[in-house]
Amino acid sequence: MESKPAILKILDGLTVILLVVATGLVFFYAPEEAVMGQVQRVFYFHVAAGWVGMLGFLVAAVAGIIYLRSGRHNWDIVGLSAVEIGMIFAFINIVTGSIWARPIWNTWWTWDPRLTTATIMELIYAAYLMLRQGIEDADRRARFGAVYAIVGFLSVPLTFFSARLFRTIHPVVIGTNQPGAEGSFDMTPRMLQTFLFSLLTFTFIFADLLWHRIRLGKLAEKVEQLKLREV
């Protein structure tokens, strides 16, 4: 295994700095929201984590398509890495959302379309990991994983749409709000800046983690090959 590339080291450092600055912005730069108070600050990382989750699943689906077309094993590692990172961040998204929902909606959980979709998305990718665990042959594992990542990702918007035909109470901060949404607010310029900065930060975190996870995946593969040689 080649040593850690210089660009990755720079990316590591940059990501840490960005995260510190973003945290500072969230707590000290962004103004306190008039109605909801301090708990509204969870919004910045909540949406950013959700964005990284979706990004991860999108990357996994694209990597799946490229793998099926090219058959190059590296794309399988990319797909698996993206799913793992996506699951963690989608989970962070759900947990931070619950923390916000307790005081604002007066409940930890409700079967709102976005919450429903987020849960089902987590279940799809849990199934993805279980599918991979059930297959020993590396080539078949990669093919099935790619197929399921594509099928699963395509079903997410349909799940969202079908759940949305029910009434929703989740606020839509960006774009037009549906009537009946509770806990919405208009962003001031400072809030918007903090929000966009959080999105940028989390995108960097995603790229950094993905790179590390791909390197780890390649290492794991090498170990496996060494074990096979021993036998």
| Residues near other proteins, by CB under 8 A | 68, 120, 123-124, 127, 130-131, 133-136, 140, 143-144, 146-148, 150-152, 154-155, 158-159, 161-163, 165
Min dist. Cβ of residue 138 to other proteins (A): 14
Rounded CA-CA distance 94/15 in Å is 23
73 vs 215 by CB, closer to other proteins: 73
Find the shortest distance in angstroms from Cβ 222 to other proteins.
Answer: 24
Residues 6+ apart with CB under 8 A from 67: 73, 75, 76, 79, 142, 143, 146
**Which stretch of DSSP H or E encloses residue 160?**
helix 138-164
In the complex, the smallest distance separating the C-beta of residue 118 from other proteins, rounded to whole angstroms, is 12
DSSP 78-136: HHHHHHHHHHHHHHHHHHHHHHHHHHHTSSS----HHHHHHHHHHHHHHHHHHHHHT--
Question: Considering beta carbons, is residue 134 or 180 the nearer one to other proteins?
Answer: 134
CA distance 76 to 52: 19
Minimum Å gap between C-beta 74 and other proteins is 17
Nearer to other proteins, 22 or 146 (CB): 146
C-beta closer to other proteins: residue 100 or 128: 128
